């Protein structure tokens, strides 16, 4: 029997089942599916309808201007399409899926193949059992229970098809995006569409909102303050103007009317005059943005027609704008400086006032009117004197330019430029900033030192990977040294630069650069000479260089730390001194208040008390910072803090403020005197710490520095005495030496000129890359000195020629050494054979040139007869004694060099400039000894004078570096010079050339004359010019 055919799908009167529970789960499941499917269809229908309406509105907006009357039809068509889509979707759902349970069962069978038609069979079997159970009911019930058990595990949500919903959603999103695009691109068209869709409402019946008047003839009468002339325009209805504008309008109605008026969206009604039945006129004042419409009324005053709404726009009167063109946003000034202020201001209608507004340190606002034009735009400049403001160091003044317009309707509006700042120059602030930057560099130096100490460069067994891994440390070290030197140069440009800190940074930067560069060079050599490391002991060389760098950086870091501690303590001293000065100023004000009882003066005193309290807070904060950063063995800061707490200065200030408010000036003055005594005690303690800090920080350094200073002073004085005695001997024989020298050199002139020219030509053939860059300067100087030599020989100035030859010998020998070094480097680096051969030939040629220059000097020296042959027995004995004394003094100069090196190992006090200065002094003394023992007082005196000048300059530089350091203070670094860029002061001072004649023509003048002679002389004037130059150089 086919049960599927026996059970009807229509509902009929059922017969109660033997077991009503069998098959109930199937029916509940199908009902759940129907509900979920219905919700999905409803959502899909709503989305499809929304998409149709949105697309229709977007299309209507696009066609609003081209087809204004079709906009409504387009929207209506889209609504119809939307309704049709919804109805069709509901119909399809009902007829195909959800009309009755049997269709739902078939839908489940189609969506869930695993269930097949079991649900439909169970449903029909249940219906068949209810009508005519002509089969085994027990078997049917067992089947129903089996289907119920399987149905209980089914998910009704899986039956519902969400794909259609998603497609409808995407369609709706696309439609809404299209509508949004049209709204953004053509907002005016969308507004016209919305206006067209807005229903027209009238009293009693729907009125058409079509235009009911012709074009408007509008006369604008603007407010007087705008400066705008009256203007007549034709308009389709829009009214636009500034607030307060009187608008007179005329138009013509499209019909005969009894009355008319304007209805404003803001509420007021403006009556219109009716002339000749259709001519309308009236006026209104623009006050608020909104809309208006024209309304016609009948004889009884009832509205008979209303026109469309027209926009009524009130243009805002924007505030004026002001700009400060000069100076910049923040400017550092002096208290009495005059600041040039350049400004400009503008307004859309006109300016009524321009002023400079500033707020001083007291928080009070001040105003200074500025001269300006009355037009819409103005500019000018103002010289702002700061003297009357009574500013102090560190004060800040905020200012701006404020402009005011001439708005006579709502009142003047103000506009202001951005706030700018004047900062009064404070040497203390600059020094504090310098300390901060130096502290950052010191911390970086410690980090570099720690990296070096922890690195593998000092290991006994080195690997290429580990050695190469330290190359970035070399690079960062060079960057650090560059930053230290750059910071020193920047600080040197400060107005009140910290000389000691600048010099220390320059010395430390140069030392770090030299040490790190040496390490980097040793590392490159180690990596390059991989096959000869054992032979050349490259491991030991790298270890030694790194250890030397570590030792030098430890010395630099320790000294820089002590110097920073000293500068911080100086900061405390300055702060305490400033507080003492303010206390004295406060005492004067209280005394003045006692006699005047001026309330304004009382207010000023209270502000002064507040300023003192701020200083006290800053002093306490600085002490706390110093306690963390300064080594305890150097300073007893805890004792100072304890003393400040015991004295309770803050409490004293509170008492003074309270007494002043109560008018008890006598008691306040007495309490202030106690505070002054306490501050004096604090200052005394700070002075004691500052004066004794050097001995506490490094007593051995202080002791050795004093010994070096005393030895330098004694050496300078003895050198002065020896030079004066030598000068007395020299002066007696100078003129006689000149005459004999001129007679003896007549036949040697051309020979020496030719030889000097050959050497000079040989130097000209040296290429720019043949030698290291360090040889460039000696090469240029050698060529210049040889040119001077030829010029001196040409003018028969053999004295000057001998001096030029002596200088040329030094440069030629340095070039010969550079050539030999280049040859050795090429051999060590195993450069190509042709390169090594070229270096070898160049070294030989330079050595030959140096020998030629030495030969020129020997022949020139032979021109000068020995002075001993013309000296008396007493003078020869005197020169012998002077030579012995000069030799002993030279040994003392060498002792000074040794002491300087020992000091330099303890702290970076002198740098390369100090060592070079002492080396030059020692060389001059050795030259003086040689000259004096050779019975040559003239050249001996020149060497002595040069040594004496260098000694005096070194001594003066040391004295200047210690100036302001405090008695017993830490030795400060040798000053790097007075130039802003931090040049070397010793090298800039003029030193007398040893062999020069001090009473003759200056060397610079004589050299200028020789340089001029290089340019040649006209033939007919050659003899006259020669004689002229000979007279000048005598």
The stretch 715-730 carries a mean pLDDT of 86
The whole-number pLDDT of residue 1000 equals 42
How far is CA 166 from its chain centroid? Answer: 55
Contact status, residue 351 vs residue 372, Cβ threshold 8 Å? yes
Instruction: List 312's β-bridge partners, or say none.
Output: 239, 290
Residue 616 has pLDDT above 80, yes or no: no
CA separation for the pair 826, 517 (Å, rounded): 20
The stretch 615-638 carries a mean pLDDT of 58
The whole-number pLDDT of residue 247 equals 94
226 CB-near residues (< 8 Å, 6+ apart): 242, 349, 350
CA terminus-to-terminus distance, the chain: 153
> How far are the Cα atoms of 315, 493, 563, 820 from residue 490, in angstroms, in the given order?
55, 5, 19, 40
The stretch 95-112 carries a mean pLDDT of 63
Higher pLDDT, 647 or 46: 46
Q: Worst-scoring range by mean pLDDT, 416-425, 501-510, 739-748, 828-837?
A: 739-748
CATH number for the domain running over 321-425: 2.60.40.10
pLDDT digits (tens, 9 = 90+) for 415-449: 999 999 999 998 888 888 888 899 999 999 999 99
Count, in order, helices (H) and strands (E) of the chain.
30, 19
The whole-number pLDDT of residue 980 equals 39
CA separation for the pair 630, 650 (Å, rounded): 25
Give the helix/strand (H/E) hosting 217. strand 216-221
Q: How is 294-343 classified by DSSP, letter by letter?
A: EEEE-TTS-EEEE---EEEEEE--PPPEEEEEES-SEEEE-TT-EEEEEE
pLDDT digits (tens, 9 = 90+) for 158-202: 666 677 778 888 888 888 888 888 888 877 677 667 766 665 434
Give the helix/strand (H/E) hosting 359. strand 351-359
Q: Worst-scoring range by mean pLDDT, 44-58, 341-355, 688-702, 755-769?
A: 688-702
Phi-psi domain of 149 (left: phi exceeds 0; alpha: psi -120 through 50; beta: other): alpha
The stretch 13-21 carries a mean pLDDT of 48
Among residues 290, 254, 300, 255, the alpha carbon closest in space to that of 270 is found at: 290
The stretch 372-392 carries a mean pLDDT of 90
Residue 48 has pLDDT above 90, yes or no: no
| CB burial readout 1006-1032, b (16+ within 10 A) else e | bbebbeebeeeeeeeeeeeeeeebeee
Work out the number of other CB atoms within 10 angstroms of the CB of residue 16. Answer: 8
The whole-number pLDDT of residue 604 equals 72
The stretch 376-395 carries a mean pLDDT of 90
Query: pLDDT band at residue 594, thresholds of 50, 70 and 90?
Result: confident
pLDDT digits (tens, 9 = 90+) for 651-693: 666 777 777 777 777 777 777 777 777 777 776 776 666 555 5
Among residues 203, 175, 181, the alpha carbon closest in space to that of 81 is found at: 175
Q: Is 234 helix (H, G, I), strand (E, B) or coil?
A: strand
Query: pLDDT band at residue 971, thresholds of 50, 70 and 90?
Result: low
The whole-number pLDDT of residue 320 equals 94
Residue with tokens 């609504």: 79
Contact status, residue 312 vs residue 290, Cβ threshold 8 Å? yes
Higher pLDDT, 1017 or 818: 818
Pairing of strands 330-333, 420-424: parallel
Residue with tokens 């005329």: 250
**pLDDT mean across residues, the chain:** 77
Q: Is 597 helix (H, G, I), strand (E, B) or coil?
A: coil
How far is CA 136 from its chain centroid? Answer: 97
Pairing of strands 414-416, 396-405: antiparallel
Q: Worst-scoring range by mean pLDDT, 24-38, 223-237, 416-430, 444-458?
A: 24-38
Fold match flag (428-568 vs 741-870)? yes
Q: What is the pTM of this model?
A: 0.52
> How far are the Cα atoms of 332, 366, 396, 561 from residue 363, in angstroms, in the given order?
19, 10, 10, 40
The stretch 438-465 carries a mean pLDDT of 89
Contact status, residue 609 vs residue 586, Cβ threshold 8 Å? yes
Work out the number of other CB atoms within 10 angstroms of the CB of residue 877. Answer: 11
**Structure tokens that stand for 683 in this block:** 């200052």
The whole-number pLDDT of residue 63 equals 75
The whole-number pLDDT of residue 833 equals 87
The stretch 534-550 carries a mean pLDDT of 87
**Structure tokens that stand for 995 in this block:** 């062999």
Q: Is 414 helix (H, G, I), strand (E, B) or coil?
A: strand
**Structure tokens that stand for 673 in this block:** 């005197």
The stretch 1013-1028 carries a mean pLDDT of 48
CA separation for the pair 870, 935 (Å, rounded): 10
The whole-number pLDDT of residue 1034 equals 41
Residue with tokens 């794909």: 163
853 CB-near residues (< 8 Å, 6+ apart): 756, 759, 786, 805, 808, 809, 812
Q: Where are the domains of the chain?
A: 3-181, 200-315, 321-425, 428-568, 569-681, 694-733+872-996, 741-870
**Residue 365: what are its φ and ψ, rounded to 5°?**
-95, 140
The stretch 602-619 carries a mean pLDDT of 69
Higher pLDDT, 196 or 981: 196
Query: pLDDT band at residue 998, thresholds of 50, 70 and 90?
Result: very low
Query: pLDDT band at residue 1029, thresholds of 50, 70 and 90?
Result: very low
**Structure tokens that stand for 1014 in this block:** 């290089």
Dihedral sign from CA coordinates of 624, 626, 627, 628: positive
Kindly indicate whether the domain formed by 428-568 is annotated with CATH number 3.40.50.
no
The whole-number pLDDT of residue 651 equals 66
Which class is domain 200-315?
Answer: mainly beta
| Share above pLDDT 90 across residues of the chain, in percent, rounded to a whole number | 18
The whole-number pLDDT of residue 906 equals 76
Residue 450 has pLDDT above 80, yes or no: yes
Contact status, residue 672 vs residue 586, Cβ threshold 8 Å? yes
3-class secondary structure for 480-516?
A: HHHHHHHHHHHHHCCCCCCHHHHHHHHHHHHHHHHHH
The stretch 701-725 carries a mean pLDDT of 85
CATH number for the domain running over 741-870: 1.20.120
354 CB-near residues (< 8 Å, 6+ apart): 322, 343, 345, 369, 370, 372, 378, 380, 401, 402, 403, 404
The whole-number pLDDT of residue 213 equals 86
Higher pLDDT, 745 or 554: 554
pLDDT digits (tens, 9 = 90+) for 467-499: 899 999 999 999 999 999 999 999 888 888 888
pLDDT digits (tens, 9 = 90+) for 114-144: 555 666 666 666 666 666 656 566 666 666 6
Among residues 39, 41, 31, 163, the alpha carbon closest in space to that of 93 is found at: 41
The whole-number pLDDT of residue 377 equals 92
Query: pLDDT band at residue 1031, thresholds of 50, 70 and 90?
Result: very low
Pairing of strands 269-275, 303-306: unpaired
The whole-number pLDDT of residue 457 equals 87
Most confident of 122-131, 208-217, 231-240, 615-624: 231-240
The whole-number pLDDT of residue 102 equals 65
């Amino acid at each position: 029997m086919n049960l599927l055919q026996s059970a009807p799908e229509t509902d009929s009167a059922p017969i109660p089942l033997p077991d009503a529970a069998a098959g109930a789960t199937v029916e509940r499941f199908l009902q759940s599916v129907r509900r979920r499917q219905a919700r999905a269809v409803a959502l899909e229908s709503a989305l499809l309808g929304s998409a149709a309406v949105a697309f229709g509105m977007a299309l209507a907006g696009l066609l609003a201007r081209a087809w204004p009357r079709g906009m409504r039809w387009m929207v209506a068509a889209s609504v119809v399409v939307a309704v049709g889509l919804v109805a069709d979707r509901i119909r399809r759902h009902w007829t195909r899926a959800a009309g009755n349970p049997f269709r739902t069962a078939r839908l489940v069978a189609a969506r869930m193949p695993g269930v097949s038609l079991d649900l439909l069979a169970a449903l029909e079997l249940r219906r068949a059992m209810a009508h005519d159970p002509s089969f085994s009911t027990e078997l049917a019930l067992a089947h129903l229970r089996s289907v119920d058990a399987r149905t209980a595990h089914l998910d009704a949500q899986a039956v519902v098809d969400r794909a259609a919903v998603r497609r409808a959603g995407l369609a709706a999103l696309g439609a809404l995006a299209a509508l949004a695009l049209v709204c953004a691109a053509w907002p005016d068209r969308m507004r016209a569409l919305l206006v067209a869709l807005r229903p027209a409402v009238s009293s009693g019946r729907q009125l058409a909102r079509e235009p009911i008047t012709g074009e408007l003839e509008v006369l604008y009468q603007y407010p007087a303050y705008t400066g705008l002339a009256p203007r007549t325009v034709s308009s389709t209805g829009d009214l636009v103007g500034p607030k307060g504008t009187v608008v007179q309008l005329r138009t013509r109605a499209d019909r005969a009317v009894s009355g008319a008026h304007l209805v404003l969206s803001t509420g007021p009604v403006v009556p219109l005059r009716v002339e000749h039945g259709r001519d309308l006129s009236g006026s209104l004042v623009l006050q608020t943005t909104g809309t208006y419409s024209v309304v016609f009324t009948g004889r009884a005053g009832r509205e008979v027609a209303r026109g469309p709404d027209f926009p009524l726009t009130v243009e805002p009167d924007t505030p004026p704008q002001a700009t400060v063109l000069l100076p910049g946003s923040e400017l550092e000034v002096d208290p009495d400086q005059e600041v040039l202020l350049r400004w400009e201001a503008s307004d859309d209608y006109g300016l009524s006032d321009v002023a400079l507004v500033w707020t001083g340190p007291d928080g009070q606002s001040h105003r200074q009117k500025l001269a300006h034009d009355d037009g819409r735009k103005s500019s000018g400049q103002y010289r702002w004197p700061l003297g009357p403001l009574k500013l102090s160091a560190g004060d800040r003044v905020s200012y701006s330019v404020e402009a005011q317009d001439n708005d006579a309707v709502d009142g003047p509006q103000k506009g202001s430029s951005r706030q700018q700042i004047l900062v009064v120059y404070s040497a203390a602030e600059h020094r504090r900033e310098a300390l901060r930057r130096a502290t950052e560099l010191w911390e970086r130096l410690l980090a570099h030192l720690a990296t070096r100490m922890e690195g593998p460069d000092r290991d006994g067994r080195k690997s290429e990977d580990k050695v190469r891994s330290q190359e970035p440390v070399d690079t960062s070290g060079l960057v650090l040294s560059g930053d230290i030197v750059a910071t020193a140069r920047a600080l040197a440009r400060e107005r009140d630069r910290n000389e000691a800190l600048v010099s220390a940074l320059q010395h430390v930067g140069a030392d770090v650069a030299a040490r790190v560069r040496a390490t980097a060079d040793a590392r490159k050599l180690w990596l390059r000479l991989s096959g000869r490391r054992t032979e050349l002991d490259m491991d030991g060389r790298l270890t030694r260089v790194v250890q030397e760098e570590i030792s030098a950086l430890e010395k630099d870091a320790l000294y820089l730390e002590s110097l920073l501690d000293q500068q911080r303590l100086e900061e405390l001293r300055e702060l305490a001194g400033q507080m003492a000065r303010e206390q004295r100023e406060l005492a004067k004000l209280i005394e003045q208040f006692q006699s005047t009882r001026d309330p304004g003066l009382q207010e000023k005193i209270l502000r002064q008390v507040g300023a003192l309290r701020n200083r006290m807070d800053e002093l306490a904060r600085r002490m706390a910072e110093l306690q963390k950063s300064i080594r305890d063995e150097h300073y007893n800061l805890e004792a100072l803090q304890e003393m400040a707490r015991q004295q309770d200065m803050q409490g004293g200030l509170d008492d003074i403020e309270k007494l002043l408010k109560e008018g008890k000036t006598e008691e306040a003055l007495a309490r202030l005197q106690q505070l002054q005594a306490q501050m004096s005690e604090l200052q005394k303690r700070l002075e004691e710490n500052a004066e004794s800090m050097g001995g506490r920080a490094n007593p051995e350094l202080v002791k050795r520095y004093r010994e070096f200073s005393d030895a330098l002073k004694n050496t300078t004085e003895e050198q002065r005495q020896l030079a004066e005695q030598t000068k007395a001997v020299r002066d007696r024989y100078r003129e006689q030496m000149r005459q004999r020298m001129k007679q003896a050199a007549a036949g040697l002139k051309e020979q020496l000129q030719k030889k000097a020219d050959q050497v000079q030509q040989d130097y000209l053939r040296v290429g720019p890359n043949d030698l290291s860059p360090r040889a460039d300067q000696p090469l240029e100087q050698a060529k210049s000195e040889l040119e001077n030599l030829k010029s001196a020989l040409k003018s028969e100035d053999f004295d000057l020629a001998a001096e030029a030859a002596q200088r040329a010998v030094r440069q030629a020998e340095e070039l010969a050494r550079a050539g030999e070094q280049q040859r050795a480097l090429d051999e060590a680096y195993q450069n190509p054979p042709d390169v090594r051969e070229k270096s070898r030939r160049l070294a030989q040629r330079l050595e030959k040139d140096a020998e030629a220059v030495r030969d020129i000097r020997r022949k020139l020296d032979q021109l000068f007869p020995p002075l001993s042959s013309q000296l008396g027995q007493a003078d020869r004995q005197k020169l012998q004694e002077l030579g012995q004394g000069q030799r002993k003094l030279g040994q003392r100069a060498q002792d000074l060099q040794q002491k300087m090196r020992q000091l330099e190992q303890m702290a970076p006090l002198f740098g390369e400039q100090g060592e070079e200065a002492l080396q030059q002094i020692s060389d001059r003394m050795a030259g003086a000894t040689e000259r004096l023992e050779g019975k040559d007082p003239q050249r001996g005196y020149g060497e002595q004078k040069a040594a004496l000048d260098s000694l005096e300059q070194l001594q003066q530089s040391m004295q200047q570096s210690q100036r302001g350091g405090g008695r017993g203070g830490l030795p400060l670094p040798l000053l790097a010079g007075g130039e802003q860029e931090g040049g070397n002061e010793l090298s800039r001072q003029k030193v007398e050339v040893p062999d020069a004649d001090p009473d003759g023509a200056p060397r610079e003048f004589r050299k200028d004359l020789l340089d001029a002679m290089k340019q040649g002389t006209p033939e007919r004037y050659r003899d006259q010019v020669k004689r002229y130059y000979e007279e000048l150089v005598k």
